[in-house]
Amino acid sequence: MYLPLQDIEAAHLNVNDPDHLRIHSLETFGTHDGPGIRMVVFVQGCQFRCLYCHNPDSLDVKGGILVEIDELVKRAVRQKGYFGDSGGVTVSGGEPLLQRSKLTTFFKKLKEQGIHTCLDSNGKLNTPDVHELLNHTDLLLLDVKHIDDEWHQKLTKQSNKTTLQLAAYRESTGKPMWLRYVLVPGWTDQPEYLEQWAQHFGNYKTVEKVQIIPYHQLGIHKWEAMGLIYPLIGTPIPTYDEKERAKGIFEKYFEDVVVV
């Protein structure tokens, strides 16, 4: 393990400033995290330790900066004219569910302003306060990193159990979600597991889109800058054929599959 796992739940419970979000960075005109043009808030802290994480500096729950929720709402309102019919605000990470109560406040305020809300999550928590946040989330982007729990744990140091439970919960609410899958040669591209992954969600009615995210090595320099050894040195990026093969398997089960 390259960074110590911290007491994430305690960090959440000890939050004594409900008016501020701990964030890593902010993107004002994002086009990759949800529909349309979006303000993307990358929050700080994550419970996963993905071997390919391209933002290792976003994992520490005590890092980042504190930003007033009202200030973020004001920024979103100023940008609203650019969002058009489909855009809005996305909260990504790091892992947003660690700040779920504060994000519920944030999303409620955005909805009062008529702004579309989107949450990009690894699904590590499936609790009543997460469900409350999802009530105010127009679109959930759920990262399901491996369908096999053993492989999932090798890849992320965490089980996929709650992620699958959260997907089932979202399905039960009838509210939309996109599923995201990082395609890593030798780790997540096994045809039998791609098939299992697709079969697991194939009957879901709320899955509007499946996004295949090809593994890349753009975060290596951050690992090096932090004095860490990048665990996937030597892992190639997927070839065109490998991406098309994964897409072909998913397309047997889903109408809208894109490689991003």
User: Which parts of this chain interact with ligand SF4 (CB under 6 A)?
Assistant: 46, 48-50, 53, 55, 58-59, 93-95, 122, 156
Q: How far is the CB of 52 from ligand SF4 (least distance, A)?
A: 7
Q: How far is the CB of 87 from ligand SF4 (least distance, A)?
A: 23
Q: Looking at beta carbons only, is 11 or 77 nearer to ligand SF4?
A: 11
HEC string of the chain?
A: CCCCCCCHHHHHHCCCCCCEEEEEEEEEEECCCCCCCEEEEEECCCCCCCCCCCCHHHCCCCCCEEEEHHHHHHHHHHHHHHHCCCCEEEEECCCHHHHHHHHHHHHHHHHHCCCEEEEEECCCCCCHHHHHHHHCCCEEEEECCCCCHHHHHHHHCCCCHHHHHHHHHHHHHCCCEEEEEEECCCCCCCHHHHHHHHHHHCCCCCEEEEEEEECCCCCHHHHHHCCCCCCCCCCCCCCHHHHHHHHHHHHCCCCCEEEC
Q: How far is the CB of 205 from ligand SF4 (least distance, A)?
A: 26
Phi, psi at 96, each rounded to 5°: -60, -30
Q: Looking at beta carbons only, is 154 or 252 nearer to ligand SF4?
A: 154
Q: How far is the CB of 58 from ligand SF4 (least distance, A)?
A: 6
Q: Which of 17, 5, 9, 33 is nearest to 130 (CA)?
A: 9
Q: Looking at beta carbons only, is 61 or 115 nearer to ligand SF4?
A: 61
Q: Looking at beta carbons only, is 33 or 95 nearer to ligand SF4?
A: 95
Q: Looking at beta carbons only, is 41 or 115 nearer to ligand SF4?
A: 41
HEC string of 220-234?
A: HHHHHHCCCCCCCCC
Q: Looking at beta carbons only, is 64 or 253 nearer to ligand SF4?
A: 64
Q: How far is the CB of 117 from ligand SF4 (least distance, A)?
A: 19
Q: How far is the CB of 176 from ligand SF4 (least distance, A)?
A: 21
Q: Looking at beta carbons only, is 111 or 217 nearer to ligand SF4?
A: 217
Q: Looking at beta carbons only, is 55 or 104 nearer to ligand SF4?
A: 55
Q: How far is the CB of 156 from ligand SF4 (least distance, A)?
A: 6
> Do the Cβ atoms of 119 and 103 come closer than 8 Å?
yes
Amino acid at 98: L
Q: How far is the CB of 158 from ligand SF4 (least distance, A)?
A: 9
215: its two tokens = 């593994």
